[in-house]
């Protein structure tokens, strides 16, 4: 009897298993199919529908981050009261002071640097994440596009913004160039993994120590030390380029030698046949 019971449990339980595993996947995996999107896209009130087309152009859509990842709620329901159920974590429109924690669920480094920054402490969370990155149409961050008089001019002079852009691009540009150099050299067959890793390390140092701190006194020396760490990467890039050109020269010499050798063999065989 006991065995029969086990058999029954197994027969019923096993087919259920994959179903349970599948339903444990975050709904964010298919945000396109969610009830939030379908209903909100059809709402007459523009304030309530504009989030959908904006989000559709965002990096979050591409990354599978849906409405419910920021607002909570039940994305699978097409009934408003269920979709907006606070028991399913629905929070509605987040308060501006709560936004850094909201975004910080996934962007911890940026949150940890931003909260004690002057924009967090003196500015009491103005500007916050969405003032600089937008709420729904979030695109890859580019300091030149973010740090503009239109966005920052109420509180800062153009000089401050130019200085800020200079500090940030002064680090990010050489990092991007080092990554590009590694990518360009790779097909030539020289080792470039250490160059790539050096650039990634500098990028991470920048992210941890410079990004979102917003105090010149702190970030200028830190940016300098990140740039200093790139000196070694630069030396490695130069060495790799020299190796590629040495290989090329050696290749030309070797090819020339082979042609001459072939000529000799041809001559030799001709002399033999005569
Ligand atoms: C069946 C339609 C429907 C569905 C499904 C739905 N909503 Fe809404 N939502 C509305 C309507 C209508 C409003 C306008 C305010 C109201 O009537 O509550 C609204 C308002 C909102 C607001 C603004 C709240 C405010 O206080 O003004 C947010 C944020 C929101 N919805 C997010 C979501 C999210 C996230 C989901 C999915 C988890 C979702 N909605 C699913 C119909 C829907
Ligand atoms: C990355 C986080 C994030 C995602 C994803 C997101 N929202 Fe929002 N949403 C916010 C924040 C933050 C606000 C508060 C507005 C502000 O402070 O600018 C907001 C505001 C809103 C509002 C109030 C009106 C407005 O635009 O300010 C609605 C309605 C809304 N969101 C619906 C949606 C819907 C529908 C989706 C999915 C298509 C969605 N949101 C996806 C963060 C997000
Ligand atoms: C005053 C404007 C401003 C505020 C406020 C702000 N950011 Fe940024 N953010 C930027 C700029 C400029 C960049 C690009 C340069 C950089 O990475 O520091 C950026 C970059 C980013 C990146 C890309 C980082 C990377 O290393 O690729 C993320 C993610 C991000 N911000 C999230 C946030 C979050 C989350 C908040 C709130 C806690 C926030 N930002 C607040 C201006 C801002
Ligand atoms: C549920 C997790 C999650 C939440 C919440 C979230 N994001 Fe993101 N975000 C991601 C992922 C995943 C990516 C794409 C991968 C990456 O670049 O980190 C991304 C990308 C970004 C980028 C582009 C980074 C780059 O490459 O330059 C910015 C800017 C950004 N998010 C800002 C925000 C802001 C502002 C909020 C809050 C309104 C927010 N995110 C909330 C997960 C999240
Ligand atoms: C609502 C006002 C406000 C806005 C808008 C604002 N900031 Fe600030 N910011 C402040 C305050 C307040 C401080 C701290 C006091 C100071 O240094 O001016 C500060 C400090 C800074 C600092 C450090 C200055 C220093 O001398 O160390 C930088 C850099 C900065 N902000 C960049 C930006 C950028 C870039 C933007 C736009 C994307 C921006 N801020 C938008 C209020 C603002």
Residues 148 and 236 reside in one and the same domain: yes
**Shared-domain flag, residues 100 and 52:** no
* Helix segments in 24-121, DSSP class H: 35-41, 46-49, 51-56, 59-62, 67-71, 80-83, 99-104, 108-114, 118-121
| Structural domain of 104 | 96-131
The finding on whether 198 has its CB within 6 A of some atom of ligand 1 is: no
Residues 53 and 83 in one domain: yes
Which of 23-37, 141-155, 251-265 is the most confident on average?
A: 141-155
The predicted pLDDT at position 113 comes to 98
Ligand 4 atom with the smallest distance to the CA of 28 is 1
| 85 within a domain of the structure (yes/no) | yes
Long-range CB contact pairs, 87-96, < 8 A, 24+: 94/70, 96/125, 96/126, 96/128, 96/130
Residue 181 and residue 237 in contact, taking contact as beta carbons nearer than 8 Å: yes
Residue 145 beta carbon below 6 angstroms from any ligand 1 atom: no
Please report the pLDDT score of residue 200 as a whole number: 98
Query: Dihedral (C-alpha) 175, 179, 181, 187: value to the nearest 10 degrees?
Result: 170
List CB contacts of 46: < 8 A, sequence separation 6 or more. none
Q: pLDDT tens across 198-215, in order?
A: 999 999 999 999 999 999
Residue 34 sits in the same domain as residue 105? no
pTM equals 0.89
Same domain, 214 and 120: no
**Which of 82, 106, 131 is the last residue in one of the domains?**
131
Residue 41 has a pLDDT of: 96
Q: Measuring from each residue's beta carbon to the nearest atom of ligand 4, which residues come in under 6 Å?
A: 59-60, 63, 65, 69-70, 99, 102-103, 105-107, 129-130, 133, 135, 138, 140-141
Q: How far is CA 260 from its chain centroid? A: 54
Q: Quick one: 102 and 163 in the same domain?
A: no
Residue 1 lies in a domain: no
108 and 201 share one domain:
no
Together in a domain, 104 and 161: no
pLDDT band at 3 (very low <50, low <70, confident <90, very high): low
4: confidence class by pLDDT, cuts 50, 70, 90 = very low
Do residue 171 and residue 150 come from a single domain? yes
Whether 257 is in a domain gets the answer no
189 CA from centroid of ligand 2 (Å): 48
- Best mutation site among 212, 218, 222 for ligand 3, i.e. most ligand atoms within 8 A of its Cβ? 212
Residue pLDDT, tens place only, 101-114: 999 999 999 999 99
Cα distance from N-terminal residue to C-terminal residue, the chain = 101
Q: How far apart are CA 148 and CA 74, in angstroms?
A: 38
Residue 5 in domain = no
Q: Which of 118, 143, 221 to mutate to test the pocket of ligand 5 (most atoms within 8 A of CB)?
A: 118
Atom nearest to 130 CA in ligand 2:
18
Distance CA 61, CA 65 (A): 6
Distance from C-alpha of 89 to C-alpha of 83, rounded to nearest angstrom = 10
> Which ligand is located closest to the Cα atom of residue 171?
3
Same domain membership, residue 176 and residue 240: yes
Average pLDDT over residues 77-91: 96
226 near 205, Cβ under 8 Å? yes
Residue 265 lies in a domain: no
Residues with CB under 6 A from ligand 2: 36-37, 40, 47-48, 50-52, 55, 60, 65, 67, 69-71, 93-94, 96, 99, 130, 135-136, 138
Model confidence at 250, in pLDDT bands (50, 70, 90)? confident
In a domain, 253, yes or no: no
Q: Rounded distance, CA 138 to CA 208, Å? A: 21
Number of domains the chain is built from: 3
- Looking at the fold, whether 114 and 153 belong to one and the same domain comes out as no
**Is residue 124 domain-shared with residue 80, that is, in the same domain?**
no
Best of 70, 138, 145 for a ligand 4 pocket test (most atoms within 8 Å of beta carbon): 138
Do the domain assignments include residue 62?
yes
Quick check: is 139 in a domain?
A: no
State pLDDT tens for residues 10-63: 444 444 443 333 333 334 434 445 899 999 999 999 999 999 999 999 999 999
């Amino acid at each position: 009897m006991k065995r029969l019971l086990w058999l029954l449990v197994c027969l019923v339980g096993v087919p259920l298993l994959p179903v349970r595993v599948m339903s444990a996947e975050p709904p964010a995996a298919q945000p396109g199919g969610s009830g939030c999107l379908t209903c909100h896209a059809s709402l007459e009130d523009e304030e309530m529908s504009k989030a959908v087309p904006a989000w559709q152009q965002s990096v979050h859509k591409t990354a599978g981050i849906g409405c419910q990842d920021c607002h909570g709620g039940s994305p699978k329901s097409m009934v408003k009261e269920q979709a907006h159920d606070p028991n399913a974590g629905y929070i509605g429109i987040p308060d501006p002071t709560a936004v850094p924690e909201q975004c910080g669920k996934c962007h911890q480094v940026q949150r940890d640097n931003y909260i004690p920054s002057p924009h967090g402490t003196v500015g009491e969370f103005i500007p916050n994440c969405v003032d600089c990155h937008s709420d729904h149409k979030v695109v890859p961050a580019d300091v030149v596009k973010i740090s503009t008089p239109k966005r920052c001019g109420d509180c800062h002079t153009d000089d401050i913004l130019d200085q800020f852009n200079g500090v940030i691009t002064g680090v990010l540009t050489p990092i991007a160039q080092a990554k590009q150099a590694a990518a360009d050299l790779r097909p030539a067959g020289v080792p470039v993994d250490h160059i790539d890793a050096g650039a990634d390390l500098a990028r991470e140092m920048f992210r941890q120590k410079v990004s979102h701190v917003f105090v010149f006194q702190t970030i200028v020396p830190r940016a300098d030390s990140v740039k200093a760490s790139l000196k070694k990467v630069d030396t490695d890039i130069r060495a790799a380029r020299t190796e590629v050109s040495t290989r090329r020269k050696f290749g030309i010499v070797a090819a020339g030698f082979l042609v001459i050798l072939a000529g000799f063999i041809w001559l030799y065989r001709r002399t033999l046949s005569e």
